[in-house]
A and B are shown apart, each in its own frame.
Chain A
Amino acid sequence: MSKGEPLRLHVPEPTGRPGCATDFSYLRLSPAGAVRRPEVDVAPMDTRDLAYSLISVIDAEGNAVGPWVPHIDIEVVRKGLRAMMKTRIFDSRMLMAQRQKKMSFYMQSLGEEAIGTAQALALNVDDMCFPTYRQQSILVVRDYPMVDMICQLMSNERDPLKGRQLPVMYSVKKAGFFSISGNLATQYIQAVGWGMASAIKGDTKIASAWIGDGATAEADFDTALTFAHVYRAPVILNVVNNQWAISTFQAIAGGEDTTFAARGVGCGIASLRVDGNDFLAVYAASQWAAERARRNLGPCLIEWVTYRAGPHSTSDDPSKYRPGDDWTHFPLGDPIMRLKQYLIKAGAWSEQEHEETQKRLEAEVLAAQKEAEQYGTMASGHTFSPAEMFDGIYKELPEHLRVQRQQLGI
């Protein structure tokens, strides 16, 4: 046996760094309408090709084409577009509010609005979502009051979470939106447990799990896939591949020369890889996965291919690690513009309606912000009393916490 060359450590790099363009050819794309649509009872192993291709419905001209064109009421599509627009307006408004120091922190979902919106519309309201910090579109489309969202962001006197949580870490049980945790991936396995509970009780509700590309490297990701597969849990396992985990390109998460959807097939889970910026494809795939889960046919993993258009958070400056104009070159474009083009072509939307809707939603968000600000901001000192921090740790206040609260003088 020859001794061979010295070994070298391989450390993946993105093609685009500040000052040079990204080569997006690494994305395994398929033309709209080109990918087959199997029956919902397909065997997981027979979804292998789907895990390495890309389901798209809306083509470059704004036509809906191919086997994945969903049966969807046009009113639902219009509602979806409005919710996506509202999410984006909300994000930009809250970004500004953070810059004005009305809140300490914010995270936008710019460019990813279609995924949460369309999936939420494909689910029932009592199906529980286990979101990350970038699925605010679910709350928006489920019509959770924007004032309550902003009160949480401002940690003010009407914050539903009483000032205990960092901004964007919402929790809204009644909107099927599980409490967000700062610890990545933890909710993924919890979603599987929720789905298992629904199955144990003979219920008809399903769970929707959410994770980003970077967080798939956490142990809870693999654990969730194993448990979902073992118990055929009624859960949709969503992987939002926005190409970036803060400054880290998805190749460092394990995306080089493979797909995240392929992980599902490897674990015996039916898996799809879908254009995350195509509202109709997101709706169709979510509906397919929901039906599969609801019919006891097992879980489904869906990799949503999209692009994190904005900074990771208000504490992040992407110009330090990726090209400034990267989003404009991303081959799957902007989900709002693509759906708008589709709706106009279908005769169900117009430039004028778009403009009017934009203005109306801007006014709505602004009014919500004004209303929320009446209840104060963290900067104005209108927050919940420090007594609240001792409460709700246990169901009943234990003696040692009663004493500590007293020591604080309250």
Chain B
Amino acid sequence: MTMIQALRSAMDVMMEKDENVVVFGQDVGYFGGVFRCTEGLQKKYGKSRVFDTPISEGGIVGVAIGMGAYGLRPCIEIQFADYIYPAYDQIVSEAARLRFRSAGDFTAPIAIRTPCGGGIYGGQTHSQSPEAVFAHVCGLRTVMPSNPYDAKGLLISSIECDDPVIFLEPKRLYNGPFDGHHDKPVVPWSQNPMGEVPEGYYTVPLDKAAIFRPGKQLTVLAYGTMVWVCEAAARETGIDAEIIDLRSLWPLDLETIVESVKKTGRCVVVHEATRTCGFGAELVSLVQEHCFYHLEAPIERVTGWDTPYPHAQEWAYFPGPARVGAAFKRAVEA
């Protein structure tokens, strides 16, 4: 399956399994989503369970919270992560706080799917990676898969989770893995083992990282598209990097991270999002705090620049394998 098919399959499986699961958002009903992630679901489950909404992000999240309070389990879509901000108040002040402020009287068991990330000439408002904005909010879970198998298993876990989940989908990975070499043709998921996705129900646990590539020289903390870029950088530099795909950004799997850095003594953090106060800062801070006496080099960060995501300058912005590889070298040579 492609990541698109895997996500659709996750929703299909959960709608079949739990009649309280409902799916809605802009263009997700009849049309099946601008990325085809919900194709066929309305036909199969009917308009009362899969439906189109007005263009109102605050409204989409707001009604989902009300439905959650009633007892439903909404899996909703914000068309691009770049457009999630009108829903910020509902996400931060309401969904994230509802369980706490009502002492468990009401909860918000909702999954908010939203395509994120660049590398597609999306310009300013079709490329952003706002994960740090949500990782900072207590009460939310922030999740990002890097391949079809994880995408399905993590989305099923997110829909079943009783906490609100921000589910970020790197749209650059929808049809195939992407290692940053934009000049080469993209290989589809059908030719990658991670495109092998079981038809039925299975889960990938939240709060658990995956060792994407085992290695001894260096620990790399990444997620989403950057996992593939880091793999290319390791291949091209010949550096034996241990690449950890965080999968769950927050709460995260600290144990796996600490164990790896203690082993390698070196760490590079990689994300597409802008640098300052990005999620990488928290990762650097955690590694510094927990692995200080094992570190043999300063912790490196390769990220997007502190600029809005440009259009024409896409590949100068996007942290590709060359920039990532250079950081690997600095880290192992320090």
Contacts and interface: CB of A to CB of B under 8 A. Distances in A.
Given A178-B69, A178-B106, A191-B66, A220 B58 contact: yes
B67 A193 contact: yes
A169 B101 contact: yes
B22 interface: yes
Contacts of B105: 160, 171-173, 179
A6 interface: no
Contacts of A201: 70, 72
28 contacts: A128-B69, A128-B70, A164-B101, A169-B101, A173-B105, A179-B106, A181-B101, A183-B89, A183-B94, A189-B59, A190-B65, A192-B63, A192-B66, A193-B63, A193-B69, A193-B70, A197-B70, A220-B59, A220-B90, A226-B59, A227-B54, A227-B56, A394-B141, A394-B251, A395-B99, A395-B161, A398-B251, A399-B254
Given A196-B66, A197-B66, 6 more contacts: A128-B70, A164-B100, A179-B102, A181-B97, A183-B94, A219-B58
A1 interface: no
Interface in B1-26: 22
A183 B90 CA distance: 9
A171 B69 CA distance: 12
A194 B106 CA distance: 12
A410 interface: no
A193 B64 contact: yes
A392 B62 contact: no
A220 B66 CA distance: 13
B99 to A, nearest CB: 5
A197 B74 CA distance: 10
Contacts of A130: 66
B106 A186 contact: no
Interface residues of B, number: 43
Contacts of B161: 395
A224 interface: yes
Interface of A: 128, 130, 160-162, 164-165, 169, 171-173, 178-179, 181-183, 186, 189-201, 207, 219-220, 223-224, 226-227, 230, 392-395, 398-400
A224 B70 contact: no
Contact of B63 (A171, A196, A400): A196
A189 to B, nearest CB: 3
Nearest to A400: B251
B101 A189 contact: no
Contacts of B97: 181
Given A197-B71, A393-B138, A227 B90 contact: no
Contacts of A226: 54, 56, 59
A173 B106 contact: yes
Contacts of B64: 193
Contacts of B299: none
A392 B103 contact: yes
B67 A179 contact: no
A393 B99 contact: yes
Nearest to A388: B103
A220 B87 CA distance: 10
A186 B254 CA distance: 35
A223 B69 contact: no
A171 B101 CA distance: 8
Nearest to B90: A186
Q: Which of A197, A224, A226 has the most CB of B within 10 A?
A: A197
A361 to B, nearest CB: 27
B117 to A, nearest CB: 26
B136 interface: no
A192 B59 CA distance: 9
A219 B59 CA distance: 9
A390 B253 CA distance: 19
Given A183-B89, A183-B94, A190-B69, A223 B56 contact: yes
